[in-house]
Structure 1
Amino acid sequence: MKIFLEIFPFKANAKKGIAATDIPAAIDTWLKKFKHHSCIAGLGIELEYFGKATDSAAAVWDAQMKSHRPAYRLFLRHYNPDYMPPVYRGKGDLIFINDASEGTIEELNKGFAAWANHFSPTACAF
């Protein structure tokens, strides 16, 4: 069995007193904690509360994760393709997850197909 860890980072929000999540530090924290488990396949970042992933941010996150183990894979998760890095694909091993769940099966399938076509040949999951 292979397991992906996932973090839910936040952007800073001064009005709510929320500090921005230091994503590279969070990557280190969780991968160091579970490094002895051979089942860990990589790490994911949920973009819902963080916002859009830039190419430069995704490259930093991917490099930080791979500094622990080069075979680890990074996944990014959101239902809007605009939240994914526009160009960065790592070494072709990123995984883009569309977590849309509202709509008819036909609407969801149409959206999932559009997602896969948009990010092809990068791995996608739903």
Structure 2
Amino acid sequence: MEKDYKKYVLIGSIPLFFITLLCLYLTTEGPPQSECSEGVWNNCNFTKPAEEWSAAAKRFGGESGVVDLVVAQAHESNLTYLPFPFEQRENIYSYSQTDQVEPYLKKFDEDGLKVILSIQPNGADIPELIDIILSKYGHHESIIGVNIDIEWKLTGEPYHVSDDERDLWLSRIQRYNPEFKLFLTYFKDYTYFPGDAQDIIILYDGDKATQDLLMREYEKLASHYTSVGIYTGYSSSTPPTASYESIIAAAPNTEYILHIV
């Protein structure tokens, strides 16, 4: 009887062993995922009321949705145009006699949204543009940082950002608020961007391809950085919008998803 009892205990322990393994599998955390914020991209479009942009950001991101708002837009002849009154400087022009940005930021403040101020520098000096924009709008509670779209970077080595430029721009931005982050946007691989660093976010702006290809390219880029994000919703992509699940599967470190609307 003692021998049979031992056999029973051994056999009975087998399912218990597998149950334990199953419990461990189910309770083990997977790869850490960043908290992801969703919102919209506004390419210097002040024809729609601020309420419409706010509602669009909330539709994607809830009460803390994001608006990526272009406030310095690239134009022909290496010029950058500003949507508020400004005395002309080399490569920097104003195209508006009224401040078109301020009413939007006030609305976004009221609605508790997050705002990225985007700059398309062209031939303008980037630290100078940062100062112009943040000295005017840096006090708004909604602002979380400044994005440099390096597709329009024509100063220094075009389209590439060095570690020195990264540090200079981030330092200049954080003079206005030490919590501000530096965002950098482009559609090429990681060699166009600086090395990874705290308080920088790399945004991928790919289009004109299938979403499978875009996700593969985004995955490669994201693997080199701690914090990343992506623009999606281009009519030239197939399908136009990548799903949330496919984006997170490609890059679990995605912190921002910005929709083209």
Give the TM-score band, short-chain normalised.
0.7 to 0.9
Is the Cα contact below 8 Å between 2:114 and 2:143 reproduced in 1?
yes
Between Structure 1 and Structure 2, whose CA radius of gyration is higher?
A: 2
Residue 68 (str. 1) matches residue 172 (str. 2) = no
From 71, 96, 106, the counterpart of 2:202: 96
TM-score by length of 1: 0.84
Letter paired with 2:128: A
In the alignment, what sits opposite 1:33? 136
Structure 1 residue 88: Cα displacement: 4.9
* Structure 1 consecutive aligned stretches of length 4 or more whose deviation exceeds 2 Å: none
Structure 1 residue 117: Cα displacement: 1.1
Is the Cα contact below 8 Å between 1:58 and 1:88 reproduced in 2?
no
In structure 1, the residue corresponding to 2:152 is in which secondary structure? coil
**Superposition RMSD in Å:** 1.1
In the alignment, what sits opposite 2:163? 55
In the alignment, what sits opposite 1:125? 229
From 121, 126, 129, the counterpart of 1:9: 121
TM-score by length of 2: 0.42
Is the Cα contact below 8 Å between 2:118 and 2:149 reproduced in 1?
yes
% identical aligned pairs: 29
In structure 2, the residue corresponding to 1:118 is in which secondary structure? coil
Query: Could you give the per-residue CA deviations for residues 25-72 of structure 1, whole angstroms, max 9, x where no partner exists?
Result: 110110111123110111000001212111101100000000110000
**Structure 2 CA distance for aligned equivalents of residues 35 and 62 of structure 1:** 14
Letter paired with 1:65: I
- Unpaired runs of at least 5, structure 1: 11-19
Is the Cα contact below 8 Å between 1:59 and 1:88 reproduced in 2?
no
Is the Cα contact below 8 Å between 2:196 and 2:224 reproduced in 1?
no
- Unpaired runs of at least 5, structure 2: 1-112, 154-158, 231-261
Letter paired with 1:83: Y
Q: Which has the higher contact order (CA 8 A, sep 6+)?
A: 1
Structure 1 residue 125: Cα displacement: 0.4
Query: Could you give the per-residue CA deviations for residues 67-119 of structure 1, whole angstroms, max 9, x where no partner exists?
Result: 1100000100001122211x251xx2210001011211111111111111122
